[in-house]
Structure 1
Amino acid sequence: MIRRPEVFHDETPPPALRHREAQVQELIRLLHRACSDHNQGALLAGPSGVGKTVLGRTVLDEFGREFGTQWTWIQALGTTTGELFREAIRGAGGTVANNAPNDELPERLRETLAGDELLILLDEADDVSGTDAVGQLTSVPGVEVVVICHEPDDWLARSEPRVRQYLHGGRIELDRFGVDELADILRDRARVGLVDGVVTSSQLETIADDVAGVAREGIQTLRAAAESAVEREHGRIHDDDVDDAYERARSRIREANLTSLPFHHLVLYELIREAGEVTGRQLHARYEEVEEQVYANRERMPISRRDRRNKLDKLRAYDLIERERLDHRWLYTPVDSGLHADRTVRIPRRV
């Protein structure tokens, strides 16, 4: 029934960028502006699962091939400014040691480019705001940046004035798809990835409606429905296969999200998961109680309360934890207490 499983993988580009024509044209316009005027970037924003990364990678790839411009995709979540520079140097075709001094990296990137241009797609860049990483990258001649984040107003508010100026007028926001729009996207995936005729248009519309226009969840629900149909030896997808697919899809997405997170996020997640429920004050106190042991022999250092709050927002956006107001306090709980973080994250037992 599933003819091409890779069609349903997150990293597989779609058969077509449907219902994003206006955003595609706007990003192309901004890339032309960046390459001609310089010091003018773009900000792609929107909730998880609406196709920000897919749109950015697809457009930059086509733009790079058409105009001969180098580009690179960097996952910025949990990275330092120095690490971003190292990834940029490698993306431009250069080599750099992980222990190269940070103050030498801008000049190393300039030398690697040798007058050429480099477009950087800075994905999952929520933590980058306030570090001036974008400002430092774009201070290198020829480097322009497209930032991907979730909350554009918050991101810009935490950024330095020169970064806000750099991104001024370059904002593109992606909303969730309408039911008919997402049904079209699912139909494309089914046409390429499934055997012909195993899913109906009505079922695709039902999935699109039930996932509230989130493309990633819709695609994974379609995949899970097909898997359930195979397991039940159905010749096609039945409605009960669809009904049972939602939680399997959400569980798969949560697991993938958790796997993608860096160490700081995983520590906070494990503290919440082990507690079952914990207030914000209790969470910070517990973090500070165990931080010396948790971070022992690691390059990473414990983070501030402000940084912890930012990372808690990411855990919520990834559907890994929930937060509710309780008597003027925030109460955090895990969505799936059976989902463990990387086993290298070890929280000391309470004495």
Structure 2
Amino acid sequence: MLDVEATYVNCWRNYTRFRTLYQILDDLGATIDIHRQSTPHDELVDRLQQHDGPRTVVILDEVDQLEDPSVIYDLHSLPQFAIICIANKEEELFSRIDDRLVSRLRSSEHVRMDKYHDEQLYDILSARAKWGLDEDVITDDQLYRIADAAAGDARLAIGILRTAAGKADRENHERITDDILLDSAEDARAQIKQKSLDSLTPHQRVVYDIVREHGPVGPSEIHERYSEDVDDPRTKRTIRTYLSKMEQYNLLEAEGTSRDREYSLVDSAAASPMQ
């Protein structure tokens, strides 16, 4: 058996270079004498370089959220670590990192995941219902309706099922009724939206609030207002990345071509309804 360990980093939560390196060292049990406020980044890299344990696979989830992608180069240069980068849009990540690293990453193994279709979502929901709920609590037809309403989003589909099961249990129903299912779809969307909002970095939240207050609004005006609101504004390219990320997570929607594109908040009422 291979002597390999793995560590997982949520880069949306650990979006700075320091936080990412610290999280990896913390999982390795090597942060006892590291001070969050005063330890320089290079010392964290040196500490990783000194790691003499088993080879470690570092999983960087939401890697396109990193404010400083150079941390990928830090890890790639260390032979005792292998990295798995998970991102929504590969090209957006590559546009922000050094050409030398892009070349290395392009030559690595790539796995592309498409959206789930309804049958796949049904299988995922059916397995969870089988092992997590009593028999006949929910029908196959209801599971298919959840899959259809989720429109390829497994997180939403599972959220609707979990919310419906909890609601039925609290209200002492032996089965999940259609009314419960309708209410649960709205509740699950609201919960996921709030979780996504809570995950935004401070700079992303400023951008979101600008769109909320002034949308529909174009990227140039967004960056102009954003630069007035923060002390250390990010570049226009970074703001475009923020906007794209929030669009992927159904917080914002964009209309128009690249030249006249405008952003506004997603209309929750326009989401795929439960039939």
Decide: shared fold, TM above 0.5. Answer: yes
Instruction: Measure how far apart 1:129 and its partner are.
Output: 8.6
Instruction: Measure how far apart 1:214 and its partner are.
Output: 1.8
- The residue aligned with 2:113 is 174
Instruction: Measure how far apart 1:130 and its partner are.
Output: 7.4
Assess, with a 3 A threshold, how the Cα gap between structure 1 residues 260 and 130 changes in structure 2: closer, same or farther: closer
Look up the SS of the partner of 2:39 in the other structure. Answer: coil
Matching residue's letter, 2:80: G
- The residue aligned with 1:251 is 190
Matching residue's letter, 2:130: R
- The residue aligned with 2:271 is none
- Residue deviations 1:316-346 (CA, integer Å, cap 9, x gap): 1111111212895222212269xxxxxxxxx
- Answering whether residue 232 of structure 2 is matched by residue 289 of structure 1, we say no
CA contact (8 A) 1:272 1:283 kept: yes
Look up the SS of the partner of 1:243 in the other structure. Answer: helix
TM-score by length of 2: 0.85
Unpaired stretches in structure 1, ≥5 consecutive residues: 1-65, 293-300, 338-351
Look up the SS of the partner of 2:126 in the other structure. Answer: helix
Instruction: Measure how far apart 1:238 and its partner are.
Output: 2.3
| Range moving further from structure 2, 96-105 or 227-236 | 227-236
CA contact (8 A) 2:3 2:55 kept: no
- The residue aligned with 1:36 is none
- The residue aligned with 1:320 is 251
- Residue deviations 1:199-237 (CA, integer Å, cap 9, x gap): 011111121122223211111111233345457664312
TM-score by length of 1: 0.68
* Counterpart mapping for 1:252-291 below 5 A: 252-291=191-230
Between the two proteins, the alignment pairs up a number of residues equal to: 263
| Range moving further from structure 2, 196-205 or 66-75 | 66-75
- Matching residue within 71, 74, 77 for 1:133: 71
CA contact (8 A) 1:197 1:236 kept: yes
CA contact (8 A) 2:9 2:58 kept: yes
Unpaired stretches in structure 2, ≥5 consecutive residues: 269-275
CA contact (8 A) 1:71 1:91 kept: no
- The residue aligned with 1:69 is 4
Distance 2:225 2:253 in 1: 18
- The residue aligned with 1:88 is 24
- Answering whether residue 83 of structure 2 is matched by residue 145 of structure 1, we say yes
Matching residue's letter, 1:203: Q
Assess, with a 3 A threshold, how the Cα gap between structure 1 residues 308 and 196 changes in structure 2: closer, same or farther: same
- The residue aligned with 1:156 is 94
Matching residue's letter, 2:88: H
- Answering whether residue 267 of structure 2 is matched by residue 331 of structure 1, we say no
Higher RCO structure (Cα 8 Å, ≥6 apart): 1
